[in-house]
Every structure is written in structure tokens, then in C-alpha cells.
Chains A and B, each alone.
Chain A
């Protein structure tokens, strides 16, 4: 809906979207790069400045709205998706961006998150996943790997984490993408895709917390390993990766496998071609699931399918009811049905 609403040429720059507030994240925090990527694409949306709203929950990432010179709403812990839903339903013309963290989104806000996905409300949801509670100073989150020692798991956690991609796709999200904080250019591209997607668009950003989970994504983002541990999902292209571009993802007997092109008779033709638009969640789920050490992590837009949005469906019902009702205002309603007069 919002995408079709480019009423005039809007010439904006990155500076138009930086607020006058001092950014108070720790030096070196992955959040800075994500902020930069968002500020980078907002001028390119073709949306007026006043038609963008940034909504957040609670946590380090959720300070985001204060650093954006847009309409912003910093809500309470876990509830950003519910607030963002209210904003979007109140005025579907607005481009709504929701900023959340792994604790905010998948623990206290888990219910709102899955229902926002299910309803396919047209909001852009950016999930900063540093696999830790940062703002409360280092407790494990639902995305912390089993065995991780934190302030509240001194012996290591004894529970398995959520994979936000599986959670989102399982909850019927029509768009899921993944990026890494150290690649803001790629993030910008993903956010643009998110914006273009009509419906819920969930982007998980693997983000490093320098203080409480430093290096948690190092096995994916580290310079020496990143080419071997990330596979870029490009629609219509084979899922090839590796320093030498000789590795690929192959679909074998209902599961994915990492194969080497040129070995055991494998050619490029055997490699799975990425289709982000397939309705079936099966392969998207498998791609989202991939994790080191046996698999690279899928980066880019994994799923992008069309489905009716909640906001459009509501407007459709409203327009239909307006057109077919004999009641046009409160006087009509108050005097409708069974009434009697006393003179």
C-alpha cells in the first residue's frame, strides 16, 4: 500500500533523518552500522519525512527512534509490534519501522511478534540479534546458544535457542531476510527489499554486542571465515558460496547438504536455485535453519511471498461496508432499528 503512494518527488538526504540527539550506544556496537543503513535508505524510499514512523520496544536497540528524525515511538518491553500495528491501522499510508532486539522480540514480546507475522500487517521489523540481554547487562536471551555462560547462567544455559527465522516463517511471515551488522551496504539493500514488500517484513540482523556477547557471530562474520560461512540468497541464482565460489547448497533426499562443485561429479547445475517467492515454507525454513559449523548462514532475502495484508483487508472491509450501508452517521444509527416515540 505505502509503496504505491509516492505523491511527489522527494529530494532528501541522509542528514534529513539524523536527529539532534547524541547517539549513546557503546563505541563499536553493531547498532551504529544498522542506524547508518537505515538512515541511508530512508531518503530513497520516496516517502515524505513526516510519513515515516519508527516504533521500538525496550533494550539497547530500542533507543533507535531517538536517533532518527522521524515520528518516533519508544514503547515498552516487548510491545513494539502491538504499538506498530496500532500506528499502521490508524494510518495505513505511513511507512512503519519497528526496531527490536532478540530479548524484546522473542521473549517478552514473543506473542505480539508471532501474531504480527500471522496477520501480515505491513510493518518493517528489524530484529537486532546479539543473543544476549545487553541493556540489563548480560543475561541470556531466548536466542542464546545452549551452554553459554552469562550473568544468569553461570554454569552455562541448559535450554535451546529460538532461530528467529524459523519462528517468523513458522508464524506465517511473508518476508524474512538476514544480514550482518558489519555489512551495512548489504543491509541497506535488504531494508529496501523489506520496504518494497507489502506485508510483514522481518529482517534479522546478526549484531555484535561488544560488552556482553562480543564475538558471538565471529564464526559467521570473521574476515577469515565469512566467505565460507555465509551464503548469499539471491533470487533466481544458485546458492553458491566459499572463498573460491566452489561450494554450494544442494537439496538431497529432503534435506540440504553442502557440496563442493567439481567433486563427486557435482556441477553448478546440481546446486539449489534460490526462489524467495515459493509459497511452500519448506526450503525457506531449511535455509533459515542453517548454522555453522556444518552449514553456512543464509544471508539476504530468504522469503518474500505475496499475501493479503491485514491493513489492506481491513480497509477493504471498511470501504465495502461504507458503500453498502444505509447508516452514514450517528444520527442514522441512533434512530435505526426498534424505536418508539412519546409525544
Chain B
């Protein structure tokens, strides 16, 4: 390393790689993430790409981004405002203006400025010269031309050469953060094994970018983020959707029940289906059904037949599954439903996050049809939330809805690899073969769950279905008193799950003036904002709910003793209303945002400060 400039230590950095859909920004971001892992930082990433597969080139709609937030201290979020923006064309500047803060370093391919490119981006003049970017440090580098120059001896055509310009940009960034290039070299060697010329070309461009930044002294300072103080162990990078898939597989292994997934492609949940279809080697039966309803119905059939059954979807799909969910409630079978939420209603904002399916998850069925609802708080956390959803489903013989969201699902985080031996064993209440006293709706006293009597087991033949059944015996029953009993039993069974989940934690002083309440994927941003105000000496505490139905049994204690309570969520106040319904004596404020985007730290800090005045 021959850094001529001063090396400044930073605690956190948010960098966003942004370019046209064809510019290879996802790869560039991923390679930078790998190097971040190697540097020992904690980090989280978020891909932000257009909903369209091939949107018009050079337009704002066609901008594809990949953000990496890395730090020396624990990283809870994928970051909002960027410290560094890599912009490969004018449109990617335009698309990211809202994510810039005063002083953001913009590394820009100055060769991309043409009249046509400006027009496509909606700029009347070059934003790098007309004062638009006056608040930022714009580093203009002729990335396209220099890439071609570096490859001039390779005998490649113009188009092929330009495909490598992302590596030139990556080289500049690697220099800026004092990174070793080895991890990237290793990627080239694995990816292009046997194609030495390709490996060499990519290396050449990467090196050229790195040396260009060094030689031309592009930056007055370079930066270093020291390794994070992470717990000892083995780590990997994982997206929320992959983590959810793996959590389900872990639960299957710990319960001994084979995993069956019946699902239908829907953004942003499809990756869970795609991931699980890979693991037929681990006996995973992942079934792509003809529609959302067939997805859940095949899962219910598989649950009846003894599988750890799952269906995955997003909001519109959950709507379609409503009737079948009622069947799962009625037949008291274990079933995990993962809803990776997106902006609604209707088709809404398919690629954007929202938390607006909460009420649907809680109540979106005919009849009194209670079930368990839990929420994932982070991408890596999806592993444990999915595992927990499966545990509760099987041990309490109930459908469980796990709420994730598009940001969690597509975002990635550092994941400390657990040992399977350290995860709890899952013990479903299997009925014993040839039990002469077996009855389909016989329940245990403690949890009120019925037994799981699996087809193929001798001596347990029985019939279940959507019609109301006589408690115990399980025969069809329209008896009025029996329906009352069964309805109450189904409710009480879910309420008792509260005795099998952890107490609600409160982060900070339990009598703090302001209690901030959140749930689901907003955890990272809300926790970071609360921490910041705590450091400033503010009287603030945070209660983040992972368990929603039933609520933890100490929820009321958590709500007690504060001057103000504010419930923050990416919807119009669904959890706030739910809390008020359950605890009408506690007043709460709401902080809601529905832009298809997560909260930003700045927004939350401003709101909390305002409430603390």
C-alpha cells in the first residue's frame, strides 16, 4: 500500500454503488462486501434494483444500486444517507439525490456525460458543473476511457472492454478504504476458472482503478474502518430470505419432520422458494404450485401428512390464502406462513418494503380464527424467527405467520454461524400408534393442543376438515354449546403460547420519559436512533416486539411508567391500534411513514427529540 494521503479512521461508512442496470453494480457491491468481511468489519447490505427486468437504459428508472453499510461497531441497519456514492452515469446521481448528505463523496464516471445521457436522466445541464452538487465532494474520473486504455492490448471490442468499467470503479473504492485486493482476485480466479485471459483483464482493470486513485491523488484523505469487535466464531454473509429458508431447514432437522414448502412466485418472497428448491439433497420438498391458494393448500395437505409444512408469500398472496388459513386454524395443524411484506394495497409497490400486512395477518380470516404472529427484526435474524415460527407451529399445533419485509428479505447481514447442536430440539405432540383412546380433538391440559396423528400410522385413522368438530371426539358437530367451547379453546390455545415465549425486553431505563415501541424490520434504525439519544443523555427507552400474537405476558409492565409512548412503524399505525385495543389505558403517539422506504436515522432522531421537548 502506497497511500500518499492521510488515513482517517472511521466508525461507520455507508457506500452506495449505483449505475445503469447493465453496469454490474450488484456484483461490484457484492465484491466490496466480501472484502469488508475479510477486513473484519460488521456490515449489512441492500440491493436496490428496478422492478422492470430491462428498463430503458440510462434513465432514472433503470438505475440499479447496491448499498453496503460497514462499521467498527455493531451495524444494525443497511444505512440510509451515504458517505460515498459511486455513480456510473448522470441518472444514478439523479436517482440518489435523496440519499446524499452534505460532504458525501461522489465518485463519478465523467465519460458518461453526454447530451443524450443528461436528457435521459432529466438534467438540463451537467449536474457536476452547474452547482447542483455543490454540497458534495465530486470526484470526476474518466472511468470508461481509462478502462479502455487499460485493456487496449487485450484485443477486445469496445463493448466488452466497457463491461469491465465497474472493476475500475471498484479499484478506486478499494483504494479509498485501504483495502487489500486479494479477495477480489480470488473471486476472479474462481469465477473465471480456466479463462486466464478474462481473469487477467479483470485484474488489470481493478489494478488500474486502484493505481489511478493513488497516482492522481484523487482523495485528500483515505479511510480505514477498524475490524469490529465481533464475538468469536465463524461468520458468513446472508440475506433475510436465505436466512429464513435455512431457519426452516434447521427446524425441520431439529424436529425430525420433513420440510414441505408449497409456494408460488411473488416479489419479494420468491427467493425463499428458490432457495429451498436447491436443497433436495437435504430432503426438502419445495413445490411450486399453480397459484397462491394451491401453495398453502398443498402445504396443509402435507401438514396433515406429517410434514413441517410452510408456505411463503407477500401481501397479495396472503390475501388469497385467507380461507385456507382458516382451514389450518380449524384443523389445528402446524403450518408456517412467511409473509415478506411489500407496499400495498393491491399490487402496490412490489419491490418496496412496508409493514402494512399486520392487521391482515392478525385478523384477515372469516370467523374467530386466532393464530400466532411473530416478526423478524433483521436479515440474519430471519434464521431464528423462521426457526421459532416452526417450533411454535409444531409444538402448539397451530398456523404461525412470520412477518418479514422486502428490505429484510433482500438485504444481507453478517451472520454468526450457529452450531445445530446448540439449537433447541423441537418436539411435536405426535399421537402414539394404535392408541385405543386416540381422539382427533383430545387435548393436553397444559397447552390445549391436539395430537398430530399422521396418515400411515396404524390405529389412528380419523377425519378432519373445515367443518366444526365436537371437542374431543372430533365428529361433525353443529351443537351451539360445542361451537362456543371450540371457539374459546382455539383462542385460549393461542393465548397460552404466551407462556412459551420470552418476556418482552426493554432497552434502557424502564421508567424513561419516552418509550419507543417498534416491531419487525425497523429494529435496526430505531435501535440506532435510540442509542444515539441515550448517548446524548436523553431519557429514552426502546421496546421492540418480536412476538405480536400473543403479546409477551409482561407487555403491560413495559408500557407502564413513561411520560410518553411512541409507536414507530411503516404503515398508518396498525401496531399502535393493536396495542391500544389490548391496553386501552395507555396513550400512545404514532410515528408512521408509508413511502416504501425504511425510516432514516435523522427522521427518527428528530421525532424523538421533538417528543422529549
Contacts and interface: CB of A to CB of B under 8 A. Distances in A.
A327 to B, nearest CB: 6
Contact of A115 (B40, B290, B458): B290
A90 B285 contact: yes
A69 B294 contact: no
Given A87-B455, A334-B418, A321 B281 contact: yes
Interface stretch (B52-60, B144-152, B459-467, B487-495): B459-467
B195 interface: no
| Residue picked from A19, A48, A83, A318, most chain B C-beta under 10 Å | A83
Given A75-B465, A325-B281, A333-B249, A84 B236 contact: no
A87 B301 contact: yes
Interface in A328-343: 328-331, 333-335, 337-343
For the complex of A and B, the 4 pairs showing the least CB-CB separation, nearest first, are A86-B301, A74-B465, A325-B281, A82-B297
B327 interface: yes
Interface string A272-295: 000000000000000000000000
Nearest to A50: B458
B294 A76 contact: no
Contacts of A89: 260, 285, 287, 298, 302
B235 A314 contact: no
A73 B282 contact: no
Nearest to B277: A317
B319 to A, nearest CB: 15
Interface in B29-46: 34, 37-38, 40
| Residue picked from A56, A69, A73, A324, most chain B C-beta under 10 Å | A73
Contacts of B455: 50-51, 53, 71, 87, 91, 94
Contact of A21 (B231, B281, B476): B476
B159 interface: no
B131 interface: no
A111 interface: yes
A112 interface: yes
Contact of B304 (A58, A87, A322): A87
A343 B235 CA distance: 11
Interface string B444-462: 0000000000011111111
Contacts of B6: none
A75 B260 CA distance: 18
A11 to B, nearest CB: 15
Contacts of A21: 475-476
Given A89-B302, A91-B456, 7 more contacts: A50-B460, A76-B327, A86-B262, A86-B297, A88-B301, A334-B246, A335-B234
B417 interface: yes
A66 interface: yes
B408 to A, nearest CB: 19
A90 B420 contact: no
Interface in B277-317: 279-283, 285, 287, 289-291, 293-294, 297-307, 309
B420 A329 contact: yes
A84 B298 CA distance: 7
B594 to A, nearest CB: 33
B246 A74 contact: no
A314 B262 CA distance: 14
B504 interface: no
Nearest to A94: B455
Interface in A33-86: 48-51, 53, 55-56, 58, 65-66, 68-76, 79, 81-86
Interface residues of A, number: 60
A61 to B, nearest CB: 14
A21 B475 CA distance: 8
Nearest to B298: A86
Contact of B462 (A71, A90, A321): A71
A90 B460 contact: no
Contact of B306 (A55, A91, A317, A318): A91
A339 B34 CA distance: 10
A76 B280 contact: no
B300 A75 contact: yes
Contacts of B7: none
A48 B458 contact: yes
Contacts of B193: none
A309 interface: no
Contacts of B237: 338
A13 B169 CA distance: 78
B456 A19 contact: no
27 contacts: A50-B456, A51-B456, A53-B455, A69-B461, A73-B301, A73-B331, A74-B464, A76-B326, A76-B327, A83-B304, A85-B287, A85-B301, A86-B303, A90-B258, A90-B260, A90-B306, A91-B455, A111-B290, A318-B283, A321-B281, A329-B282, A333-B246, A338-B34, A338-B37, A339-B417, A340-B38, A343-B232
Interface of A: 19, 21, 48-51, 53, 55-56, 58, 65-66, 68-76, 79, 81-91, 93-94, 111-112, 115, 314, 317-318, 321-322, 324-325, 327-331, 333-335, 337-343
B419 interface: yes
A335 B246 CA distance: 12
A292 B502 CA distance: 69
Contacts of A328: 281-282
B464 A327 contact: no
A331 B419 contact: yes
A72 B301 CA distance: 11
Interface string B470-491: 0000011000000000000000
B304 A73 contact: yes
A42 to B, nearest CB: 12
Contacts of B38: 340
A100 B302 CA distance: 19
A335 B417 contact: yes
A314 B285 contact: yes
A341 B304 CA distance: 42
Given A85-B298, A90-B258, A74 B463 contact: yes
Given A83-B298, A91-B305, A330-B249, A70 B461 contact: yes
Contacts of A318: 280-281, 283, 285
B10 interface: no
A333 B459 CA distance: 38
B230 interface: yes
B280 A83 contact: no
B393 interface: no
A111 B299 CA distance: 17
| Residue picked from A53, A56, A93, most chain B C-beta under 10 Å | A53
Interface string B263-287: 0000000000000000111110101
Given A82-B301, A111-B291, A76 B466 contact: yes
Contacts of A65: 463, 465
B394 interface: no
Interface in B211-261: 230-237, 246, 249-250, 253, 258, 260
A342 B281 contact: no
B63 interface: no
Contact of B293 (A56, A72, A79, A88): A79
Contacts of B467: 74
Given A76-B323, A340-B235, A53 B464 contact: no
A325 B458 CA distance: 34
Contacts of B246: 330, 333-334
Contacts of A333: 246, 249, 279, 282
A114 to B, nearest CB: 8
B91 interface: no
B317 to A, nearest CB: 14
B236 to A, nearest CB: 5
Nearest to B327: A76
B324 interface: yes
Contacts of B299: 86
Contacts of A74: 463-467
A112 B290 contact: yes
B304 A111 contact: no
B231 A72 contact: no
Interface string B556-593: 00000000000000000000000000000000000000
